[in-house]
Structure 1
Amino acid sequence: MEGKRIQHEGAQANLSGEVAQELDFYRIRSTIASLAASDEGKELLLAREPGSDEAQIEQLKALGREWSTYLHSVRPQAILSFPPVRGLFPLLGKEGAQLEQDQIFALGIFCSSQEKARSSLTAAAESLPLQELARLAAGMPSLADAQRDIFSVIDSSGEVRDLPQLRAIRSKIAALHKEIESTIRRYTSDPQLSAALQSTVPAYKAERELLAVRSDRRGAIHGIIHEVSASGQTVYIEPDEIVRANNELIQLEFEFQSELRKIFRELTARLGGHRESFSEAHQTMLLLDASCAAAQWQSQVRGIFAERCDLAQEPPAIRGARHPLLGDKAVPVDICFMDGKKVLVITGPNTGGKTVTLKTIALFALLNQAGFPVPAEEGTRLPVFSSVFADIGDEQSIDESLSTFSAHMKRIAQMAEHADSRSLILLDELGSGTDPQEGGAIAMAVLDMLIARGSFVIVTTHHGILKNYGYTNRSCVNASVEFDTGTLRPTYRLLMGVPGESHAIDIARRSGLPDNVVAKARSYIASEQADVSSLIKGLTAKHMELDALMQQETSRAAELEAKELRLHEREIRAKEKEIEL
């Protein structure tokens, strides 16, 4: 699935691109990629887009779950860092090709990392439930022969070994270095020459060892002048006694490098027999590295890999959802759809968390379809969508001279053209930016159309008429962001099944609006909204009662389970005493 993306005509119709950017998918992806052990694993993750192939999505999540099991065990690190090697594979076995020393060492490190992963996962699978990881490890071709060939030429630090073909040349080079150093030392330690030398430390110019001599005393040392300093005060002389040795040294160094290139060419040719094995093992290693990075991020955010959701059998559910960019400030939210209800209408005051909830649900869908974990609790299940459409925010399109409302309508028109039963639609403040009556009518008509298409829709709104729509339409479910009427502050909890009030007048009073203005405002809406507000308050109270009853029921069930456990323990002790007697 790596690199795949679902293409759809029209703006924001993809699972990737602008809609993924708007939902912060790429920010999360970058964080996960930073946890990869290899640079190529990081590149693979940075190229991953949400997909719609359920089998591939489930495989990635299965690998992530198993990695989570491995990482929480006492097993050693299985994926070790390795340098980029993909670009070297085409050279293996190619006529006349020759890998450089650092490239050969990179392949050796990769072989070692692959063998470490293979052996670690195979051993761990004997005691841990790692079926998919063990299958991948067992399916990787062995690179033991290639590894043996590589490290027969270089050692574990990347240096060339003392090979028979090189030993004689190395011995001659060492002898010449010793001869040259001895001669130079004789010059630098001669008291009669101390006044002629600028330094007793030899200089290296053009791979030759030279003496730094004062220009006015150059006649004191016979030899070849190779260079003069910029000030003209120093000349660099190669004494006649070491000219021959330096010439021989250069010749031997050339022979050494020629022999070394021959060894590297022969090794490159031999490794050609393992080219396909390298390529296959590399693909598996990157998959292991990427899925391990996802599991590490899961641990960091205390998340889970979402369960598969078959819409024909059950509705989606998200438990304890936390937007990953909010960190510890995130308030866990439960979003549970009901059978046959594919439209969620979220209402409530500004800054109450409606848009964050909407973005969290959509971000979770994209993360899930990229095979990534989500910061939520067990029991979270998500379907696979073929496309995601988003109309979030109120930016005006200056380039196209569109008002806020016109910009919203243009995006919604694109949704109307492409949405289907496997689409996820996000509509923030649907029907806003125009006359409330007309905006509400358009909003309901849009929802009618999307319901007919069978799309999953999450909509936030302030329109009171949409609260009633959410109750009267069997395909919809209302939800609201909870508001503490005592402190007049949002709690950021989502109440399913209960529409929300805007609390605009209460907030206005708390913000300092004169009491007489507040009273006048209440009188204007008293006759129109009293019944609806009373209904919402009653529903909210019932919701709180239900929460309390559920908590009491959970406590009673826990007490009953504890009593049964104590009784069972007494029975076991009684039987043990009988056996002793």
Structure 2
Amino acid sequence: MDSHMLHTLEYDRIIRQLTDEASSETGKKRAEEIRPSFREDEVRQMLQSTAEAMDFLRLKGDLSLQGVRDIRSALRRARLGSVLSSSELLHVAGTAEAEKTVRAALSGIDEEDVSLPILLEMTGRLAETRQLAQSISSAINEDGRVMDDASPELGRIRRNMIQLQGSIRSTLNEILRSSKYQKMLQEPIVTQRNDRYVIPVKQEYRGAFSGIVHDQSASGQTLFIEPQSVVNQNNRLRELEMAEEREVERILGELTVQVSELGEELEHNLEILTELDLLLAKARLGRRLKGVTPRVNTDGVIFFRKARHPLIPEEEAVPIDVELGREYRAIVITGPNTGGKTVSLKTVGLLTLMAQSGLPIPVEEESSVAVFSGVFADIGDEQSIEQNLSTFSAHMTNIIRILDQIDERSLVLFDELGAGTDPTEGAALAIAILEQVLNKGCRIVATTHYNELKLFAHAREGVINASVEFDVETLSPTYRLLIGVPGRSNAFEIAERLGLSREIIGIARSQLSSEENRLEDMIGALTADYRKAEEEREEAEALRREAEDLHRELKRQLETWENEKERLRESARREAKTIVTRARREAEEVLEQLREWARERPGELKEHQLIEAKKRLKEAEPETSLRVCSREESGPTRKIEVGDEVLIKSLGQKGQVIDELGEDEFQVQAGFMKMKVRAGDLEWKSSPRPEQTDRGSTSYRRSSNSVRHELDLRGKMVDEALPEIDKYLDDALLAGFDQVSLIHGKGTGALRTGVQKYLDRHPRVKKYRPGGQGEGGLGVTVVELK
């Protein structure tokens, strides 16, 4: 697409916002260069990548790649044998360190929570360069100065320099304090000239003060003299300074060699990190716009649900519903000026371009887009004084250029088609242009004021009328797009509301033909019917949502009742078992007493009578086991699979199947415990809900566990935070997390101290540490669980 079309639809403004969201130098450059793709497979891949980046931000918060720099020039110089400066090496270190940061961020993602195959594949292709970053960081500080401990020799040289500087200053301070020299000094200070320590001496005492003159003041009244007593010391200091320079150069040279050896890996990583930063910038833009990644269809259909123009603030934008390419291939929008026709037109075009660039768009989840070979727009007042073109001529020149470029996979947008000339001729020309574009198979959205185009859209197959709603009572547009209803001019109603006499309005109406009056009346009736149908639809939708909420509440109550019933039955069974056991024991004692009595009085009581009495006691024992329905009573047995929620009947405890060990044995997670359980001891309770997808379309919606990898405690007091931490750590352990982050902020440090004291005595905390680079620093405590 040419830049004129992109500028017309304000695509460049979206790209500027995207650039602002990128965190790295190279990511910003890549964002500036992004353009829509017209290949369906590439658009799908870009949208899926963006969807994964949005999932990553939702789970991890963010990932800054600010340290990544464009180091390609430095790498070329290193390969040619040049010694890189300390600042260049720091840029290399920042890029090399990003590899570790990215791996650490993505390694904490639980694949059971969300699947990120593209991001994980990108991370897997990163070469390991963290050792180089460590080497550079241990030698050069953040200010670009080579540190004393970069080498033993450099440390020795600098210690000698410090000692010698102290000795020089001590000697000079003695001169400053001496009564002999005080009157000769302009000021009692020690300063430097030409890297030599000097003192300021008055011009008239030059002959009385021995030493070397290095400089003089602008007035000539002050000479900066190096006293003879420190000349040798200054010479020695200069030798140490040169030795320091040579050692620093040697250290930088060694680090440059390491950079040269990893040059290819660093360039490879830079490309991946730049692409990753671009994906994160898209995700941040989507989060700010409250956008989604739409599905991509192969039918050439645009379906936008609750679409908003991304450059209009959310609180001011009026969402519109647009469907184009299924039942009809063209929409003709009519309505008053400033009613929102052009905004609706631009919304369709701009959102299409954004989606084909892999950007999230502000629509509802069920929206979908087609991939067009081009988006062509003729919008706005194109009058050019310099080219001596009228508005009509400028529009025609642009339309002619569009007609030469479009094909059957194009999206064409016309604003005020046929305007700027005689209305009769303009309407006829507009109809002819629409026919030509329709015959080429394009998708079209056009705005107009002409009644002839309303009739054309009503009669022509594949074309539908639409309008922007206008409230005559308030004399203001509502900006709602009404599909299927042509717009009214509302001129007479507005004039009457403003106070024009009914007599004049009546005369004006009489000038219209009967067909025009009937058309206006028909449009008014359609608008009223549409508004009524819309109100009824909204009412039905509200009732449907209410019914769904009621159904969910009843289902929840039923589950609660079933659980309570099961608990009561189990309690009753245990109580009955206790009673029976006690009765049996007492019966045994009675029988034993009877036997003993029988042995003492043989012949009076027979053994078979004792056995019969015991049998009768056992038969009198109440049934304590719960009745299990047969297959015929309960229906077919549900096959237990990995992921199902089950009841371990022997324990009376629920758990989740995490592995199948054999045909008749499973591994079950119940709370903190993992155990092997026979299939006969398990009762199926529920299965995870499968994700629904639409056939013939691609959906990138994500599901997530309710337990996050981080807990935000900022703004809380210590007493408020500790109970939340306790519950959160329990939930994290149950979710199987090995590591979590507690965000407490920096502030005064009181919350951090309270949190860490609590972690010191928590039995399930293995260890903890402050957050590292990219993890939040001292504002975050990273906790490892056991």
Q: Same fold (TM over 0.5)?
A: yes
Distance 2:207 2:498 in 1: 95
Whether 1:250 and 2:238 are equivalent positions in the alignment is yes
Give 2:84's aligned residue: 99
Decide which structure has greater helix share. 1
| 1:319-366 Cα deviation digits (max 9, x unpaired) | 212222221211111112251422111101111000111111111111
Give 2:137's aligned residue: 151
State how 1:389-538 maps to structure 2 within 5 Å.
389-511=376-498, 513=500, 515-525=502-512, 527-538=514-525
Higher mean displacement: 462-471 or 79-88:
79-88
State how 1:112-511 maps to structure 2 within 5 Å.
112-126=97-111, 127-155=113-141, 158-161=144-147, 162=149, 163-311=151-299, 315-327=301-313, 328-337=315-324, 339-511=326-498
Distance 2:108 2:28 in 1: 26
| 1:536-566 Cα deviation digits (max 9, x unpaired) | 1221122122212322322332333234334
Contact 1:82 1:106 in 2 (8 A): yes
Contact 2:328 2:463 in 1 (8 A): yes
Superposition RMSD in Å? 2.1
Higher mean displacement: 81-90 or 101-110:
81-90
**3-state SS, counterpart of residue 540 of structure 1:** helix
Q: Deviation of residue 510 (structure 1)? A: 4.1
Higher mean displacement: 319-328 or 437-446:
319-328
**3-state SS, counterpart of residue 312 of structure 2:** helix
Give 2:728's aligned residue: none
Contact 2:25 2:70 in 1 (8 A): no
Partner AA of 1:569 in structure 2 = R
Q: 1:156 to 1:489 in 2, by over 3 A?
A: closer
Give 2:93's aligned residue: 108
Distance 2:312 2:564 in 1: 57
Match of 2:57 among 71, 80, 89: 71
Q: Deviation of residue 89 (structure 1)? A: 4.7
Partner AA of 1:390 in structure 2 = A
Partner AA of 1:79 in structure 2 = S
Partner AA of 2:103 in structure 1 = R
* TM-score of the pair, normalised by structure 2: 0.69
Q: Deviation of residue 71 (structure 1)? A: 2.2
Q: Deviation of residue 570 (structure 1)? A: 4.2
* TM-score of the pair, normalised by structure 1: 0.92
Give 1:561's aligned residue: 548
| 1:99-133 Cα deviation digits (max 9, x unpaired) | 10111112112222331122101222444332222
Match of 1:49 among 35, 40, 51: 35
**3-state SS, counterpart of residue 490 of structure 1:** strand
Q: 1:53 to 1:220 in 2, by over 3 A?
A: farther
Distance 2:280 2:512 in 1: 57
Distance 1:227 1:92 in 2: 40
Q: Deviation of residue 499 (structure 1)? A: 0.7
Contact 1:346 1:481 in 2 (8 A): yes
**3-state SS, counterpart of residue 495 of structure 1:** strand
Whether 1:81 and 2:69 are equivalent positions in the alignment is no
Distance 2:203 2:77 in 1: 54
**3-state SS, counterpart of residue 385 of structure 2:** coil
**3-state SS, counterpart of residue 510 of structure 2:** helix
Distance 1:160 1:34 in 2: 33
Distance 1:426 1:113 in 2: 44
5+ unaligned residues in a row in structure 1: which ranges?
Answer: 1-13
Distance 2:276 2:212 in 1: 61
Contact 1:397 1:403 in 2 (8 A): yes
Contact 1:501 1:533 in 2 (8 A): yes
Partner AA of 2:174 in structure 1 = R
Q: 1:55 to 1:205 in 2, by over 3 A?
A: farther
Partner AA of 1:270 in structure 2 = Q
Contact 2:467 2:482 in 1 (8 A): yes
What is the identity percentage for the equivalent residue pairs of Structure 1 and Structure 2?
34
Distance 1:329 1:495 in 2: 19
Give 1:5's aligned residue: none
Contact 2:203 2:222 in 1 (8 A): yes
**3-state SS, counterpart of residue 187 of structure 1:** helix
> Considering only CA atoms, is the larger Rg found in Structure 1 or Structure 2?
2
Partner AA of 1:22 in structure 2 = T
Q: Deviation of residue 515 (structure 1)? A: 5.0
Distance 1:508 1:541 in 2: 20
Structure showing greater relative contact order (alpha-carbon pairs closer than 8 Å, 6 or more residues apart) = 1
Contact 2:83 2:252 in 1 (8 A): yes
Give 1:546's aligned residue: 533
Partner AA of 2:20 in structure 1 = S
Partner AA of 1:138 in structure 2 = G
